[in-house]
C-alpha cells in the first residue's frame, strides 16, 4: 500500500531509505520549533500559541506535500518572515498588535492559495526581475543575522554611530560566541542537524553555567491551541483596511511565493524529479505551503515556506512524499516536549547563532546578482541595504521596485520592465508617500 501510494519502485527507493531521509530532514530543521517561539515571543505572542501553531502549520503543510504532491520537501514557518512579523510589523512605529498582524498573514495565505490555483502565480514569478528576487533573499539574510547579533548584545545601540560592539565580557555574549563556534564546527564537519545539535550543546553549557533552568521539566502533554487568534476572516480584512497594511500583506505574499518556489525547484532538481524545466504537481506543492500559512495564522504563527533543509533528506536518499510524512510524524512527537523548548527558546544566546548562520547562508544570493549592470544591481543593492537598516522587509522591497523602473526608464529600457512591476512600483510609491508604513 505504502509503496504503491508513494510510487517507491518508480523512484528507485525503499521504505527504509525514506525513513532515514525523513529523520535527517527533521533533525536539520527542528530548530524552528525552538527559534520561532523565541522570535514571536518578542512580539508578545504567548509561547503555547506559537509552539503549537508552529507544529500544526508544519504538520499540515508537510503532510499535504507528502500525501498529495509526493515530494520529499518539508514546510514550516519561514526564517526571516518571522523576524519581520515580530520586529517590523508588530514592533514597528505603528503599534500594530500581534492579533492584527496574524490577520494579515491569514489574508496573504488565502491570496497565495488563490494564486496557486490560477496561472497568475506563474506570471507573477516570471514578471519579477531575477536580480530583485536575489536582492530580497540576501536582504532578509542580513536582516535576520542583524537581529541575532542585536538580541544577544553582540551589537548594541551607539549614540554616534547608531550601532556598536557590545560587551564581550557579558555572559550572554560569551555564550553566543561559544554556541556560534560549536555550530560552525558541526556544519564544517557536515553533521546532519548541525543547527539543532548546536543549540542543544549551547543549552547544555547554559545549564551548567546557571544561565538556563528547566523548572517545568522536559516532557508534558501538548498545550491546547486557540483557533482564530485574530478573531475572524472579516475582522482580518477590516483590520488590514483600517491600519493600511496592504504592503505587509504583499510582502508576506511575495516573499513566500519566491522563497517557496525557488526552494521547491532546487530540491526537486537535486532529487532528479524535474521534467525538463517543469515541476510536476507544482500546483499541489504550492497549495501545501499556502494551506500551511493559512492554518498557521489561525493558531498563531508567521507565514510558512518550503525548507531548503529538505535537501539534506534528499542527500540521504529521500525521493518521495514518504520522507515528508516521516518529518510530519516526528514534529507531532516534538509537540510533547514543550517545557524543554520553552526553556531553551527563552534564552536568546541559544537561538541567536542559528539566526546568524541562516542569515549568512541566504547571502549566497549575492553571487547571482548582475553587479556589472547599474540598472539591475542598484535596485537589488537598495533592497539589501534598507531591509536591515529600516528593520522592514516591506520597505526594502518597495524601494527596490520603485528604483528598478526609474533606472530602466533613464537608460531607455522601458520594454524590459514588465507591466506588473510598473504597477507594483506605483502602488509602493503611493504607500510610502501617503499611507502608514
pLDDT in tens, 13-49: 999 999 999 999 999 999 999 999 999 999 999 999 9
Task: List the beta bridge partners of residue 157.
Answer: 163
CA 379 to chain centre: 23
- Between helix 338-345 and helix 47-64 the angle, nearest 10°, is 110
Using pLDDT thresholds of 50, 70 and 90, give the confidence band for residue 436: low
Q: Rounded to whole angstroms, how far apart are CA atoms 396 and 388?
A: 9
DSSP calls for 103-126: HHHHHHHHHHHHHHTSTHHHHHHH
pLDDT at 261: 84
Cβ–Cβ contacts within 10 Å for residue 168, how many? 10
Q: What is the grid cell recorded at 275? A: 521534467
* pTM of this structure: 0.87
pLDDT in tens, 103-127: 999 999 999 999 988 888 777 777 8
CA–CA dist 152, 174 (Å, integer) = 9
pLDDT band of 92, cuts 50, 70, 90: confident
What DSSP string runs through 291-318? HHHHHHHHHT---EEE-TTHHHHHHTT-
Among the listed residues 125, 77, 85, the one whose alpha carbon sits nearest the alpha carbon of residue 104 = 85
Host domain of residue 364:
2-434
Q: How confident is the model at residue 435 (pLDDT cuts 50, 70, 90)?
A: low
- How distant is the alpha carbon of residue 221 from its chain centre? 27
Q: All 3 cell numbers of residue 150?
A: 542585536
Angle between helices 321-334 and 47-64 (to 10 degrees): 160
**What residues does 132 pair with on adjacent strands?**
none
| pLDDT surpassing 70 at residue 430 | yes
* Each residue's pLDDT tens digit, 220-231: 999 988 999 999
Number of domains in the chain: 1
**Residue 57 burial class via C-beta count within 10 angstroms: exposed 0-12, middle 13-18, buried 19 and up:** buried
Torsion over CA: 311, 317, 318, 323 (sign): negative
Amino acid at each position: 500500500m505504502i509503496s504503491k501510494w508513494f510510487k517507491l519502485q518508480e523512484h528507485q527507493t525503499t521504505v527504509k531509505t525514506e525513513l532515514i531521509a525523513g529523520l535527517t530532514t527533521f533533525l536539520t530543521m527542528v530548530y524552528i520549533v525552538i527559534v520561532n517561539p523565541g522570535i514571536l515571543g518578542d512580539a508578545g505572542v504567548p509561547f503555547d500559541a506559537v509552539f503549537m501553531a508552529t507544529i500544526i502549520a508544519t504538520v499540515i503543510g508537510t503532510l499535504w506535500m507528502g500525501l498529495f504532491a509526493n515530494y520529499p520537501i518539508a514546510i514550516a514557518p519561514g526564517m526571516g518572515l518571522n523576524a519581520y512579523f515580530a520586529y517590523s510589523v508588530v514592533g514597528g512605529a505603528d503599534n500594530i498588535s500581534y492579533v492584527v498582524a496574524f490577520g494579515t498573514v491569514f489574508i496573504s495565505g488565502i491570496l497565495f492559495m488563490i494564486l496557486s490555483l490560477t496561472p497568475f502565480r506563474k506570471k507573477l514569478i516570471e514578471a519579477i526581475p531575477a536580480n530583485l528576487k536575489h536582492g530580497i533573499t540576501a536582504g532578509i539574510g542580513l536582516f535576520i543575522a542583524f537581529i541575532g547579533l542585536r538580541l544577544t548584545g553582540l551589537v548594541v545601540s551607539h549614540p554616534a554611530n547608531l550601532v556598536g560592539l557590545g560587551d564581550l565580557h557579558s555572559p550572554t555574549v560569551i555564550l553566543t560566541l561559544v554556541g556560534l563556534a560549536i555550530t560552525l564546527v558541526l556544519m564544517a564537519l557536515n553533521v546532519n542537524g548541525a543547527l539543532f545539535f548546536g543549540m542543544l550543546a549551547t543549552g547544555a553549557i547554559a545549564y551548567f553555567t546557571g544561565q538556563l533552568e528547566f523548572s517545568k521539566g522536559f516532557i508534558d502533554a501538548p498545550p491546547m491551541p486557540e483557533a482564530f487568534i485574530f478573531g475572524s476572516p472579516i475582522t482580518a480584512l477590516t483590520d488590514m483596511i483600517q491600519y493600511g497594511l496592504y504592503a505587509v500583506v504583499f510582502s508576506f505574499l511575495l516573499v513566500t511565493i519566491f522563497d517557496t518556489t525557488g526552494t521547491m525547484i532546487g530540491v526537486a532538481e537535486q532529487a532528479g524529479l524535474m521534467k525538463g524545466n517543469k515541476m510536476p504537481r507544482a500546483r499541489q506543492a504550492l497549495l501545501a505551503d499556502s494551506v500551511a500559512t493559512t492554518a498557521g495564522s489561525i493558531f498563531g504563527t508567521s507565514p510558512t515556506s518550503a525548507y531548503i533543509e529538505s535537501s539534506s533528506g534528499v542527500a540521504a536518499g529521500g525521493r518521495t512524499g514518504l520522507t515528508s510524512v516521516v518529518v510530519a510524524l516526528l514534529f507531532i512527537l516534538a509537540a510533547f516536549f514543550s517545557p524543554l523548548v520553552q526553556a531553551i527558546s527563552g534564552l536568546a544566546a541559544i537561538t541567536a547563532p542559528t539566526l546568524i548562520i541562516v542569515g549568512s547562508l541566504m547571502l549566497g544570493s549575492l553571487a547571482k546578482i548582475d553587479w556589472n549592470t547599474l540598472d539591475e544591481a542598484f535596485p537589488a543593492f537598495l533592497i539589501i541595504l534598507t531591509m536591515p537598516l529600516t528593520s522592514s522587509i516591506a520597505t526594502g522591497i518597495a524601494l527596490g521596485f520603485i528604483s528598478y523602473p526609474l533606472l530602466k526608464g533613464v537608460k531607455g529600457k522601458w520594454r524590459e520592465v514588465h507591466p506588473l512591476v510598473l504597477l507594483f512600483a506605483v502602488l509602493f510609491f503611493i504607500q510610502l508617500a501617503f499611507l502608514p508604513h
